[in-house]
Structure 1
Amino acid sequence: MDEFAKPAPGVYLVAAHPNWGESKVNRLLLAAAGQLPWVRVRDLYGSYPDYDIDVAAEQEAVAAARLVVLLHPIQWYSMPALLKLWLDEVLRYGWAYGPGGTALQGKDLWLVATTGGSEHSYHPQGYNRYFFDAFLPPYEQTAALCGMRFLPPMVLHGAHTAPPGAIEAHVSTFGQRLGTYPDWPELEDLPACPACDVPQSDRPAVHDQASR
């Protein structure tokens, strides 16, 4: 049976790791999510090794979820390449944003990420030169453009050298958070996403683009 034929749960987790065999934390997070029957899990690199994304199936899964989770390691201050392609292909103009693009309005987007560098490295005096929050605006604005709330991210810094106890606690907290969503106390005070109306003049018709 195709996994998209299963009853749609309230959570859709999109996981991206180019090499799960080298993952110390993300693979444990993925396994923890997979144990929850109401969480639908999509391993992008396992499902689309040829980068040929089933857009219709992905849109169906995202539209059916109340919470969309992006699970991945931070690579070059951003997301793995296949996850970026997933965003490009799935969150299309006229479906996820822009005129008529209301499929995701009112949903929540949650980033769950790991970094190789320590928390201290994400500091003006550290080698990454900025606090980690400086790298979040693309995620926040993606959510806003689609009419979604961007939930406070869950990040584990220094994943390569994290001790087993810290990893176990992180995975446990992640499972607990998934298990109690949407009953998170901080969500009561989280404002709704801002309105981001994209005029049609900013997205000319296909034939107009071809003529340029």
Structure 2
Amino acid sequence: MSIPETDKPKILVLFAHPYPQLSRANRSMIDAVRDLPHVTVHDLYETYPDFHIDVKREQALLAAHDVIVMQHPFYWYSCPSLLKEWMDAVLEYGWAYGNGGTALQGKDLVQAISTGGPDYAYREDGYNRYPMEDLLRPFERSATLCGLTYRPPYLFQGVRLKSQQEVEAHAAAYRHWLDGYAHPAQQAACAQPVVPATDR
């Protein structure tokens, strides 16, 4: 059953890939969702090639959306550097967390991540030694500190081994997933974590 357009949450896709022209997976995924009316695609590397982030603009974008999707390749067990710079600059104390920092409460955060290695490489007995949920703990904790609801990541793993047909099928599935994303809530707002001044 499809969700009426008026009931769909506003979704902000923070797209962070320094070389999108070289990425089969991420380029296909982002192209597949650009025309969805309730989705705003925000290409961070295109917008900020000099890494000088307009904090107020980014905060206004976040405030205007219900769901934040961080779409990025998995670089060195984390995200590309501009997305980390974005987090450092935009998620300010007193705005996103801490005393008075309630701007993001009740919104969802999801990561749409691609990995070159297959899913079985991300296990305790695999090449990378840790499951993805362990490697993503810093993102989860950053989200919950800001009163966001951290949702399970949308993963596309083993990209190097995928055919073009499989990449296109994943992009179509990504579009379907975003198009049918349920509104984060009529849920009660998350309790705002208390951040003691001595812990900052």
TM over 0.5: yes
Superimposed CA distance per residue, residues 92-133 of structure 1 (whole angstroms, 9 cap, x where no aligned partner): 000000000000000000110000111111122222111222
2:194 maps to amino acid: D
Superimposed CA distance per residue, residues 136-167 of structure 1 (whole angstroms, 9 cap, x where no aligned partner): 11111111001011111110111122122322
Q: Which residue of 1 aligns with 2:146?
A: 146
Superimposed CA distance per residue, residues 14-44 of structure 1 (whole angstroms, 9 cap, x where no aligned partner): 0100101110101111112211122111111
Q: Which residue of 1 aligns with 2:199?
A: 202
1:74 aligns with 2:74: yes
Give the TM-score taking structure 1 as reference length.
Answer: 0.84
8 Å CA contact 2:144–2:150 kept in 1: the answer is yes
Residue 193 of structure 1, CA deviation: 5.0
Percentage of matched positions with identical amino acids: 45
Say if 1:192 and 1:126 are closer, same or farther in 2 by CA, change over 3 A.
farther
Q: Which residue of 2 aligns with 1:6?
A: none
CA RMSD of aligned residues (A): 2.0
Q: Which has the higher contact order (CA 8 A, sep 6+)?
A: 2
2:139 maps to amino acid: Y
1:108 aligns with 2:105: no
1:14 maps to amino acid: L
CA distance in 1, matches of 2:175, 2:190: 25
Give 1:56-67 correspondences, 5 Å limit: 56-67=56-67
CA distance in 1, matches of 2:13, 2:96: 17
Matched position secondary structure for 2:68: strand
Q: Which residue of 2 aligns with 1:177?
A: 177
1:54 maps to amino acid: D
Give the total of aligned pairs. 191
Residue 181 of structure 1, CA deviation: 1.7
Q: Which residue of 1 aligns with 2:12?
A: 12
Q: Which residue of 2 aligns with 1:46?
A: 46
Matched position secondary structure for 2:40: strand
Please identify the structure whose Cα radius of gyration is greater: 1
CA distance in 2, matches of 1:24, 1:193: 37
8 Å CA contact 1:144–1:194 kept in 2: the answer is no
1:197 maps to amino acid: V
CA distance in 2, matches of 1:126, 1:162: 19
Say if 1:177 and 1:53 are closer, same or farther in 2 by CA, change over 3 A.
same
Residue 196 of structure 1, CA deviation: 2.0
Say if 1:193 and 1:102 are closer, same or farther in 2 by CA, change over 3 A.
closer
Runs of 4+ in 1 over 3 A off after TM superposition: 190-195
5+ residue gaps, structure 1: 1-8, 204-212
1:137 maps to amino acid: R
CA distance in 2, matches of 1:192, 1:103: 11
Q: Which residue of 1 aligns with 2:3?
A: none
Residue 182 of structure 1, CA deviation: 1.5
5+ residue gaps, structure 2: 1-8
